[in-house]
Every structure is written in C-alpha cells, then in structure tokens.
Amino acid sequence: MFKKLQSLLLAFLLFISACSLETKTDEPVLSEVYVMNEGSFGNSNASVSSYDPVSGNVASGIFESVNGRVLGDVLNSFSLIDGKLFLVVNNSNKIEVVDPESFTSIATIDIKNQKSPRHIVKAGEGKAYVTNLYGNNVSIIDLNTYTETGVIPVGQNPEGIAVVGSRAFVANSGFGSGNTVSVIETSANQVIRTVEVGDNPVGVKVDRLGRVWVVCVGAYNDFSTPDDDTPGQIYLLDGGSGDVLQGLTVGGHPGRLALNPLNDKAYLLNGGVMEIDMTNLSVTNEMLIEGGWYSVDVDPESEQPSLWLTDPKNYNQNGEVVRYDFEGNELSRFSAGLIPGGLYFHSR
C-alpha cells in the first residue's frame, strides 16, 4: 500500500514537474535589466543603463542615445504602468514615459509648481498618483493625456506609495519627523484615513497577500547625537482597511525593501542585507550580505530568480550591480552609471 502511494506520489510529482517545465518554456525570458541611475543632485546626470544577462554587455545612457536629449536631474524611481515605463525625474519635476522595448519617449509629464515628484503608481483605470515631496500632496495624472489634473493633500513630505485594490497608501516622511500613512480612496481621490506607524515612513510595498509593508527609517532627531535616534521599524498594514496588522523593530535606519513571493522572504537594506520571514514577520538573518548597498530588487519571474543589489560607491563615480542567490552567494556583477538606484527586469 505504502509503495503504491509512493508510486502515485512520484507520478504526480513528475506530472507537475513536466507541466512546470512546459509552462517555463512558454514564459517570457529575461532579456534586459534596466538600471535606473539616479545621478547626483543638481547635475542632471541621471541615466539608464541596459544589461544583457546572456552576453553580459552593458549599454549606458540609453535614454539619451535613443531620444537625443538629457534625461534630467535625479531619476528617483520608476514604475511599469499599462506596459509603459514611467520614470520619475525628481529635480526636473517631470515624469518621462517610455516604451520599455525601444526606450523611445512617449510623453513627458510636467509636475507643476516644483513639487519634487518621488514615486508614481497606477491608481485605477486611466489614472496614476505621484507623491510630491515638497508639495505635501499627491498629483493625479491622467494616463490618456499625460497631464497632471489635480492634487490630493496628504501628510508632510510624502515618499513611497502603493495601491491595493481601490486604496492608495502614502508614506508621510515629514523629512524624518513624520509617522503616518495616508490612505486614499482612489475612486474619490480623497484621503479617508491616516494611520499612525513608526517614525519617518519612506518605503511602501505590497506583498502577494495584499498586505502593505511600510519601511519606517526611524527619526534622527538631533543629527549630532545618535543616542536620541529612534530605531527603524517595519509596519504591516491591512490592504483593505489600513489597520496595523503587525510591527517589527529592526533597528538602525533601514533603506530599500524587496519582497520575494517565491520564498516569502523580504530583503531589507539595513547596514547590509537583512532577511525577514514574511509569514511571521521575524528577522531570519540580520546580515545575509554585507555592504553599503543603495537598492535591492528581486526578479521572481526570471529563469533564475535572484537578489540584485546596487553599490553606489561614493556617489561620485559609477556604481555597480551585484547579483546574489538567495543564500547570499555572489553570482555576477557589472558596472552601472552614477548612483544606481533601482532595476527593471524586462522580459520578452
């Protein structure tokens, strides 16, 4: 009986594997990794590099070479919306919309009144939201006309933003003094709730369960006195109600966060790479990978999912991108541009 069961189980597993393999071959293959190089503030040297993971070749300055003009000052973030890449150029107060295949420019969205845009996210059909660091609001972007049609006041110095269903979650950093997340009902373009979280909320991500992860950097208070700093924290919010589900004090002053749905691990930059179990919100490895990394990304949909870290070096010379497996072993590395701050994995 036991042997029969074993045989059945084996046959089932083989079937599943065959299905998986078959599915795998149909999946798009990672063809390019676009590196979003922030550039240094005030120097208009933001750029995008393209890395071919097969050949290892790197092409730099692809926006300029394709479109014949400078990208702008500080490429703060990007987002793929309706198959187009939206590049948020912070100190140029604009968003460049490009075709991810060719990188040709589709549109340029001007953010009025120098509000210093930080992040963009799709917020319903034909609409996107942009957080404005100096505007203390969120711009509403019409994705049909590529224009700013209005603003929604939120808290002080908003940074990260994410959308779950019809709710947008905005981290109000207050330049270190904030501790709230504004919840916007996207159908009404109105803040319906303000949730208290840890000090200095900056990053917002959504996991596969629809939970909102808020990275709270912690307050510096008097910069000259490290003793009065408050520790970094992760807050988990319910994507529907906005209720705080759980909190985790991670210490230090964390930076970027990447979520890996394949192993339910989160990777947080906090003086190195910290590994967090997403199922029970606990730190499983305080220092998975050492280093002064600037950004962390996971490519769950590629053939060999891995951790991609960017090293800005001293912010005045070209940085590097280093690829690791989830055990923390280095796989490969390549040169990027000035202050590489995020990766977009383009598959064909």
Partner 1 sequence: MNSALATAQVATSDTLVTDEVTVTSTRIHRSSELQPVYRTKIDSVQIASRRGEMLGSLLWSLPGVHVRSNGPGAASILSHRGLGGSRVSIEWEGIPLNHSMLGVADLSIVSNESVGAVDFSSGSGSSYSGSGIGSVISLSSPDDVKGLTLNEHVNTMGNTAVTFSGGVAGQSWKAFVLAGYRKDDNRFRYYDEAGDQVSKRKHAAGTGSQLMTVVQGRRGNAGLKSSFWWNKADHEVPENIYAGPGSAHQYDESFRWSNRMVLRRPGRTVRTSVHLSSVRLDYFNSRAGINSLSTSRSIGSDFSVSHSLKNMTELTYGASMDYILVTTSNFPEDKYRLSSSVFVNAAWEPLEGLSIYPSVSWNYFSEFENSVTYSAGMNYVLLPDDLFIRINYSGDYRVPTFNDLYWPDGGNALLEPEEAKRLEAGLAYMKAGKIPIRTSLSMFYTDLDKGIKWLPDEGGRFKAGNIQQLISRGVEWTGSTELSAGLWKIHLNNTITYNRVFIDEQRFKGDSSTGNQLPYEPLMSWSGSFRFSRGDWFAGVSSQFAGDRYATEEGANGPVVDSYIVTDLTAGTAFDIGDFRMLLSGRAGNIFDERYSAIRYYPMPLRNFSLNISINYKP
The answer to the question of residue 267 lying near partner 1 (CB under 8 A) is: no
CA–CA distance, 48 with 87 (Å, rounded to integer): 10
Of 15, 29, 80, 315, the one binding partner 1 by CB under 8 A: 315
Residue given tokens 């660091």 in the structure block? 133
Q: How far is the CB of 178 from partner 1 (least distance, A)?
A: 13
Does 291 interact with partner 1 (rule: CB under 8 A)? yes
What is the identity of the amino acid at 59?
A
22-30, 86-94, 101-109, 259-267 -> range binding partner 1 (CB under 8 A):
86-94
Site for partner 1 in 187-246 (CB under 8 A): 220, 222-224
Positions in 151-190 near partner 1 (CB under 8 A): none
Q: Is residue 310 within the footprint of partner 1 (CB under 8 A)?
A: no
Q: Distance between CA 344 and CA 271 in Å, rounded? A: 23
The H or E element that residue 302 is part of is none
d(CA 255, CA 271): 9
Among 271, 300, 305, 328, binds partner 1 (CB under 8 A): 271
Element (H, E) at 339: none
Query: Does the footprint of partner 1 cover residue 64 (CB under 8 A)?
Result: yes
List 114, 145, 241, 249, residue binding partner 1 (CB under 8 A)? 114
Q: How many residues does the structure list for the chain?
A: 348
Q: Which residue's CB is nearer to partner 1, number 183 or number 269?
A: 269
316 binds partner 1 (CB under 8 A): yes
Minimal CA–CA distance to 85: which of 57, 62, 113? 62
d(CA 139, CA 158): 11
Question: What single letter denotes the amino acid at residue 250?
Answer: V
Distance CA 64, CA 77 (A): 17
> Residues interacting with partner 1, by CB under 8 A?
40, 42-45, 64, 68-70, 72-73, 91-93, 114-116, 134, 220, 222-224, 252-253, 255, 271-272, 291-292, 294, 311-318, 320, 338
